[in-house]
Amino acid sequence: MISFENDYSAGAHPRIIQRLTETNMEPLSGYGTDVYCQNARRKIREATECPEAIVEFLVGGTQTNAVVIASMLQSYEGVVAAETGHVSVHEAGAIENTGHKVLTLPQHQGKIDAGELKTYLETFFEDGNHEHMVFPGMVYVSWPTEYGTLYSKAELEAIAEVCHAYEMPLYLDGARLGYGLMSPEADMTLPDIARICDVFYIGGTKVGALCGEAVVFPKGNAPKHFMTRIKQQGVLARTGDKYRNKSCRFYLLQHFPSTRHTFRFRVGTEFGAFLCIDAFYHLGSGILAILALINDVDGGGSGTSLVHVCLFTAQVQAMTFHYFMPGIGMVGHGVE
């Protein structure tokens, strides 16, 4: 049976569990200093083409968003997001609980518009009373969005241009980054995202790991004492076993062929020897067939129609988790 409740109700891929069992009694230092975490960091730097990137591992999406946003904002700043953004509606006030307001903009099928962002910032700083208000300190987007839609490279670059003009970091929530990267509608690769954004994370929880997200500061631009900030928020794993479960298990290795339509996204784990699960590669042909049908239905447009949103998100997740957990796959676009 395939359930559409969400895409993280089941456990991890059996091969990940097997590898964890095999290495369970191996003594390792804690706090991400073990060899497996170091190897995962190195491979993520290679995949993003960012040799200076700082990579840290956290447990889940909400914790990651709260830590990253709180660490990068001043006490008087808030984060700008779509009114339908995950941090706006599906994190139970986790961002506000860190002392930072979520400043919402209108959404257009889940996305914010660079022009509206610019107008918002211009209006804020032109207000003579803005010193008495919450300053916009960073911009949050997710890829895919809550609606399953994708920012194009041009759209994300336009948002980044506005952010940089106002000296604000652009943060991309990558909880379901794997789905976006393997979509034929996507015109961005992982190195593109690393180049455009100031910080993002590669999600493991929604693509077959028990849990785990890799936060990437591609330009080596992590806030000062970022690990200490993780500890302060109560989400720093201590023992080697916990880091085994959090970072190495979800390690992702990307291969970029000449065409995005045959994008190969390998999900796996590394414990001395790299073990990969070629899930998205094997799913590619079936997904392309589904998308061809969707394009016939919605006129082959930009990938933002409701038909595309519903069918694409559901079918891709269904096929992905049917591959990961045959006969058990739990899929859908549930909330945390």
Q: 55 near 250, Cβ under 8 Å?
A: no
Closest CA to 11 of 260, 174, 211, 265: 211
Specify which residues 3 forms β-bridges with.
330
Q: What is the pLDDT of residue 311?
A: 40
Q: What is the pLDDT of residue 244?
A: 52
Neighbours of 293 (CB within 10 A): 12
Q: What is the pLDDT of residue 141?
A: 98
Q: 141 near 153, Cβ under 8 Å?
A: no
Q: What is the pLDDT along the chain (336 residues), one digit of tens a residue?
A: 777 787 777 788 788 888 788 888 888 888 888 888 899 999 999 999 999 999 999 988 999 999 999 999 999 999 999 999 999 999 999 999 999 999 999 999 999 999 999 999 999 999 999 999 999 999 999 999 999 999 999 999 999 999 999 999 999 999 999 999 999 999 999 999 999 999 999 998 888 788 889 999 999 999 999 999 999 888 887 654 445 554 444 443 333 333 222 222 222 232 222 223 343 333 333 333 333 343 443 333 333 333 333 344 444 444 444 444 444 333 333 333
Entry pTM: 0.76
For the stretch 88-126, pLDDT in tens is 999 999 999 999 999 999 999 999 999 999 999 999 999
Specify which residues 131 forms β-bridges with.
none
Can you give the length of the chain in residues?
A: 336
Crossing angle of helices 114-126 and 153-165, in 10° steps, is 10
Token pair, residue 209, equals: 């790991």
Neighbours of 164 (CB within 10 A): 12
CA distance 318 to 312: 10
Q: 58 near 213, Cβ under 8 Å?
A: yes
Rounded to 10 degrees, the C-alpha dihedral 262/147/8/103 comes to 120
